[in-house]
Amino acid sequence: MKQAVRLGTVALLVAGTLGIGPIGGDAQDEVVIGYSAPGLVGAQLEIQQGLIDQAEAKGWQVLTVTSGGDAQKQIDDINNYLAQQVDAIVAVPDDSAGICTAVAAAQEAEIPFYTIDRSPQGCAINMTVLSDNYLAGQQSGEAIVAYLTETYGAPQGTVLEVTGNLGQNVAQLRGGGFNDVLAEHPDITVITRSGDWDTAEGVDIVRDVASTEATLDAIYHHSDSVYTPGTLQVLQELDLLAPRGEEGHIFIAGVDGSPAALQGIRDGFVDQSSNQPIPDFAIITDYIEMELNGETIAEGEVIEEGALWSPARIDASDVGPQLFLATTSVGPDNVDDERLWANVAAGREAGVEATPAS
């Protein structure tokens, strides 16, 4: 059964029986969430803080730990949470397939398991909330095609794609959306290199390709949080950093909507970013609360008026219900939209009350 679900000042409307069934427990007691992050680099710090803020607003407690990119440590950390008998696990998987070991342990302990930002692969969980990463890749791809068409009169040229960890579904989707767009234009050559979400590796890739290619027209980053600052530095060192509109400009696009990317757009050296609704991944707490109250998660459209990520959708999948929040293509015309997560974060750091991302 599909229906539109409207969020905001009204209660969540729930219908259907899709997904994992209700969780035991008393929602009136303090809820303790065990949260496992892969690290606090790039956008991950904002993801964690958004979850903490939303949970604390409900009177809940969030325990946090980071794995530093070590998939086995993440499993060990989650097992520790299970031993503490937390009410629910929320994780950003280091390894989308490897996390299933922890999922199995949680299911045996009858503790619900959720992920945000990244989905598991090969096991079903209670729910995942993430950006529509395929859409994000499409948005960046479309921006690059438009630039190359304007530059050459037809879609042609050479593009470098710096990927994330291709063992994770996030990188697979960001690459998939991007490459599906570029594949429609056979005169565009795409050079794909795996950066593995590593800043230093990204720097080496850009240095190598920019130094050896006669003409490099554009660069697509799977994460502008991770790769953009290093890319700008390398291009400057190679005397290849030309501002937008000038001869020799290399079009730079990516996914995240990071502070570095938005500042780069303002400065004229970055051109596009597919903004993730980072703070709004914390909407997972609403669904945890629903299940604690004995409600089920329904497939269908999710609408919140004024939210950049709306309309979103909940899809059934072999890994459980997935809520895909829409990304927003950011360029010079909308870079100062105060709902973008980097602008929300900047306002908070400056002590200025900013409009929430949702």
pLDDT digits (tens, 9 = 90+) for 159-203: 999 999 998 888 999 999 999 999 999 999 999 999 999 999 999
> What percent of the chain clears pLDDT 90, i.e. is strictly above it?
81
What is the DSSP pairing of strand 157-163 with strand 218-221? parallel
Please, which residues bridge with residue 33 across strands? 62, 88
How far apart CA 225 and CA 187 sit, in angstroms, is: 29
Task: Quote the pLDDT of residue 151.
Answer: 97
Q: Distance (Å, rounded) from C-alpha 305 to C-alpha 173?
A: 27
Please check whether residue 33 lies inside any domain of the structure. yes
* Termini Cα distance of the chain: 26
Question: Are 204 and 269 within one domain?
Answer: yes
Instruction: Give the pLDDT band of residue 58 (cuts 50, 70, 90).
Output: very high
In a domain, 347, yes or no: no
346 in a structural domain = no
pLDDT at 347: 77
Better-predicted residue by pLDDT, 180 or 45: 180
Range of the domain at 245: 133-275
Residues 120 and 148 in one domain: no
- Residue 188 located in a structural domain: yes
Two tokens, residue 318 = 């072999």
Residue 357 lies in a domain: no
At 136 the three-state DSSP class reads helix
- Cα gap 231→162, rounded to integer Å: 10
Domain boundary among 275, 306, 335: 275
Q: What is the pLDDT of residues 229-252, one digit of tens each?
A: 999 999 999 999 999 999 999 999
Q: Assess if residue 244 is contained within a domain.
A: yes
Would you state the pLDDT for residue 26?
Answer: 46
Indicate whether 244 and 288 sit together in one domain. no
Q: How confident is the model at residue 21 (pLDDT cuts 50, 70, 90)?
A: very low
159 and 229 in a single domain? The answer is yes
In terms of domains, do 151 and 138 share one?
yes
Of the candidate ranges 19-23, 27-31, 35-39, 120-124, the one whose mean pLDDT is the lowest: 19-23
Residue 43 pLDDT: 76
The answer on 146 and 180 residing in a single domain is yes
Which tens digits make up the pLDDT trace of 145-159? 999 999 999 999 999
pLDDT band per the 50, 70, 90 thresholds, residue 42: low
Residue 94 and residue 107 share a domain: yes
Residues 176 and 271 in one domain: yes
CATH number of the domain enclosing 295: 3.40.50.2300
Q: What is the pLDDT of residue 358?
A: 41
Higher per-residue confidence, 290 vs 14:
290
Q: How confident is the model at residue 351 (pLDDT cuts 50, 70, 90)?
A: low
Q: Please list, in sequence order, all residues whose beta carbon lies within 8 angstroms of the beta carbon of residue 167, skipping any fewer than 6 positions away.
A: 95, 96, 97
- What total of structural domains would you count in the chain? 2
Same domain, 164 and 189: yes
- 17 pLDDT more than 50: no
The answer to whether position 252 is within a domain reads yes
How would residue 12 be classed by pLDDT, with cut points 50, 70 and 90? very low
- Average pLDDT (316-328) is 97
Claim to verify: residue 116 and residue 191 sit in the same structural domain: no
Place of tokens 């095609």: 145
Q: Which of 275, 298, 318 is the last residue in one of the domains?
A: 275
Q: Are both 146 and 270 inside the same structural domain?
A: yes
- Asked if residue 329 has pLDDT above 90, the reply is yes
- Identify the H or E element spanning 237: helix 224-237
| pLDDT beyond 50 at 8 | no
Q: Model pTM greater than 0.75? A: yes
pLDDT exceeds cutoff 70 at 57: yes
Mean of pLDDT over the chain:
90
53 shares a domain with 177: no
The values of phi and psi at residue 127, to 5°, are: -175, 150
332 lies in some domain: no
